[in-house]
Amino acid sequence: MLSTQESTLTPSARRFPFPFREDSYRYSTNVEPAPQFVPTDAGGWGDRLIEIDPHYGSELEERAAILDRDPSRIAMLPHMGPAVWDTITTLLPVLATDYPDVMCFTREGRRCHWRNDLLGLDIDFVIGDASTLPMEPLRFIGSQIQDDIALLDQREDALWLDAGVITFAADWSLGFDVGMRFLEVHGPVPRVHEEQIITRAQQFLMRLQPGEKFRRTNWTMTVDRRLDTSTETYPEWGPDRLEVVDDPDLAKRLHLRVEVQHLIRLPHSGAILFLVRTHMISLAEISAVPAWRQRLGRVLAELPEDMADYKGISRYRHAAAQWLLGG
């Protein structure tokens, strides 16, 4: 029996959404109802829809700086206005319920009041009137949660990625993908089409009823806890993938990157709200949980080449597996 060294566990390890159910990993339509607590070898996660952690302030500052630098990370096709308001009136009450000490939302008709002590924010606004918010509505809701946000419209028997604020993308570009069908968005992913995973996911999502909430996890790896690994900035972070292989600090620099993705049918617009919350933990931190250490090592060693290539981890995954399994 592997035991966990409680004392060396970081708080983020205790809440980390460790995604592997087995020693090997394949794609599947891995959706489950949300929220729902999942115990792990280090603690557990998932009892809240929106998770606020100690990185809240710094991640939101980073998002704001990215959006100032590169406005293509936020996009909204003209018909998505009601869906954005729907997102605001769905998420703020959830936050207020889950974090009552620091957040408060009240509404009377279209008039809303929102207080967020973590950001020193206290505002009144009117649903449908963008001028009553401190910034454009989509950017506003993106400034209250650490999650990246995508909104999908449903029409012509398909889902369309028609709006979003995505500053922490794992190797894709919202600016390029906006306006695509769900199936087109997933065009570059290997295996999932032959295995009907994406068509099945789309059918499932199109049948979601208002208010229903599901979630799934996805994972990859990132060098140095860098949140912004978008296609836009690939020339900046691409070199790290090679550099890290021979770095004696590999275990501190390489992070398992897990996205907790929520899938929510918005009640009035009928759009699908897709939230992507990124969590990262270094191999060094993982090694404090022997069960995780071994499982991640085996997953990385076994992962088929096409999946590793697609995730962009081919250069270093065997070095990582060796460190995890050998030490």
CB 255 within 8 A of CB 221: yes
Out of 20, 56, 99, 172, point to the residue binding ligand HEM (CB under 6 A). 172
In a 3-state reduction of DSSP, which class is residue 35?
A: coil
CA 75 to chain centre: 17
Determine whether 39 is exposed, middle or buried from the number of CB atoms within 10 Å of its CB (0-12, 13-18, 19+).
Answer: exposed
Residue with tokens 């806890």: 225
27 binds, among ligand HEM, another protein, none (CB under 5 to 8 A by kind): ligand HEM
Which candidate in 115, 181, 191, 216 is catalytic? 216
Alpha helices (runs of H) in the chain, residue ranges in sequence order? 11-14, 56-69, 81-98, 137-142, 174-177, 182-185, 197-207, 234-243, 250-253, 283-286, 290-302, 305-311, 314-326
Stretch that binds another protein, among 43-51, 72-80, 140-148, 249-257 (CB under 8 A): 72-80
**Shortest CB 312 distance to another protein, Å:** 9
| Residue 311, CA atoms < 13 Å, CB-side half-sphere | 25
Closest CA relative to residue 191, chosen from 310, 98, 279 = 310
Q: Is residue 77 near ligand HEM by the rule CB under 6 A?
A: no
**Does the footprint of another protein cover residue 204 (CB under 8 A)?**
yes
Residue facing ligand HEM at closest CB distance:
201
218 interacts with, out of another protein, ligand HEM, none, CB within 5 to 8 A per kind: ligand HEM
Q: Is 216 a catalytic residue?
A: yes
Nearest Cα to 121, choosing from 189, 60, 71?
60
Q: Is the dihedral of CA 216, 17, 228, 275 positive or negative?
A: positive
Contact 201, 31 (CB under 8 A): yes
- Cβ(146)–Cβ(59) below 8 Å: yes
According to CB under 8 A, which one of 201, 272, 283, 321 is a site residue for another protein?
201
Taking the complex as a whole, the smallest distance from the CB of residue 94 to ligand HEM amounts, in Å, to: 19
* Exposure b/e, 218-233, CB count within 10 A at least 16 = b: bbbbbbeeebbbbebe
Contact track, another protein, 75-94, x by CB under 8 A: --x-xxxxx--x--x-----
Q: Is 27 in the site for ligand HEM (CB under 6 A)?
A: yes
Contact string (CB under 8 A) for another protein, positions 252-271, x = contact: ---------------xxxxx
What residues between 205 and 244 interact with another protein by CB under 8 A? 207, 209-211, 214, 230-235, 238-243
Pick from ligand HEM, another protein, none: which does 234 bind, CB < 5 to 8 A by kind?
another protein
Task: Kindly list the catalytic residues.
Answer: 216
Residues engaged in binding ligand HEM (CB under 6 A): 27, 29, 31, 150, 152, 161, 172, 177, 185-186, 188-189, 192, 197, 201, 216, 218, 220, 274, 310-311
List interacting residues with another protein (CB under 8 A).
28-33, 72, 77, 79-83, 86, 89, 109-110, 127-128, 153-157, 162, 173, 175-180, 183-185, 187-188, 190, 193-194, 196, 200-201, 203-204, 207, 209-211, 214, 230-235, 238-243, 267-271, 315
